[in-house]
Chains A and B, each alone.
Chain A
Amino acid sequence: MTANIFDDLPADGATLARLHERLERSADVDGVLDVAYRTIDTPVGTLLLAATTVGLVRVAYDIEGHERVLAKLADAVSPRILRAPARLDAAARQIDEYFAKRRKAFEVPVDLRLADGFRRTVIEHLRDIAYGQRESYATVAAAVGNPRAVRAVGTACGHNPLPVVIPCHRVVRSDGSAGQYVGGPLAKSTLLGLESAGRE
């Protein structure tokens, strides 16, 4: 037998795209879409947004490696993951509005299952730091009742599963310098700059 007669068939890109959309919808309706994700372009690069049926579970910067983040979600949450933008519509719109300075607080359900223990406590506290405000790592440590845990607060911020939406970028060094950030120093200064420019 010579060449496979099926080798010359045209590509099915349009059909497969349509079938993928149909799969996204029926998987969601059937309750088997454990994690839906999409990406969104922002001034701080392309962000990956992922949501469970509970809420937004992960926001990830490019430099974290989106493939790696998805593989970790498959492990930590469920491998039943699809690129399915519909579930992220509200989150994506609000992030757009935030970068356009038309929004100061996010109002989307969140799923904090990726943060537990002390990290969870820190993450919960970060949600109370308002737009345009800053707190030092030491202040956060004191606020969560463990003033000596400054370094652990830094680690917790570095493992924030929802950067941008949960504002770990508002936690800075006591000397006023920005400090480290999961999205890189440039992203942190961009966010802080954006918010201080918006202050009245």
Chain B
Amino acid sequence: MQVRPFEDVVAEHGATVLRVCRAVVGPVDAEDAWSETFLSALRAYADLPDDANVEAWLVTIAHRRALDVGRARSRRATPTDAMPDRPAPHADPAARDPDLWAALQRLPTKQRQAVAYHHIAGLPFAEIADLLDNSPDAARRAAADGIKTLRKIYQKDQTS
């Protein structure tokens, strides 16, 4: 089985990776994280094993790049606990399901990551545990707790 043109990878996984990025780093930094992810993936693409799960591989890269983007932000920005409630004005209208992304930003980091990697990217908890450096059970709990809180905040936002 030969390696597919990278264009196919972008077409097939671009939307999912964008949602993962929005969930993990927030709508403002998501585009930087997405760009870094796909540029890194393109760089390494020729070395990807034939039987690799491409989406899991991309999420792993996104996870690392998201950390980088987060670090860059904390270096350049004044530290702030709360993420802005609204995406930046230049963000795409499609990115403005404001309450869902804002609600995600209020979750603890590991919950947010577990929710993104499992409920958006569909990664199994064993693989998420590797990324989060915890156990599959802990990853499962983090995702469940995250979703529970999210439903509470998100639905309250929607009805308010």
The total of chain B residues at the interface (CB under 8 A) is 32
State whether A74 and B97 are in contact (beta carbons under 8 Å apart), knowing that A23-B39, A26-B35, A79-B46 are contacts in the complex: no
Interface centre among B6, B43, B150 (most CB of A within 10 A): B6
B5–A73 CB distance below 8 A: yes
**Contact stretch, chosen from B11-19, B64-72, B128-136:** B11-19
Where the two chains meet, the residues of B that have a C-beta atom closer than 8 Å to any C-beta of A are 2-7, 10, 14-15, 18-19, 31, 34-35, 38-39, 42-43, 45-46, 92-95, 97, 100, 119-120, 147, 150-151, 154
B100–A19 CB distance below 8 A: no
Contact with B along A7-34 (1 / 0, CB 8 A): 0011111111011101100110010110
A5–B92 CB distance below 8 A: no
B45–A79 CB distance below 8 A: yes
State whether A79 and B6 are in contact (beta carbons under 8 Å apart), knowing that A12-B15, A16-B18, A19-B34 are contacts in the complex: yes
A79–B5 CB distance below 8 A: yes
Q: List 14 A-B contacts (CB under 8 A).
A: A6-B100, A9-B100, A11-B15, A15-B92, A16-B14, A16-B15, A22-B31, A23-B38, A23-B42, A70-B5, A73-B5, A79-B2, A79-B3, A80-B6
The total of chain A residues at the interface (CB under 8 A) is 35
Q: CB within 8 A of B46: which of A1, A15, A78, A83?
A: A78
A177 at the interface (CB under 8 A from B): no
A80–B46 CB distance below 8 A: yes
A5–B7 CB distance below 8 A: no
A75 at the interface (CB under 8 A from B): yes
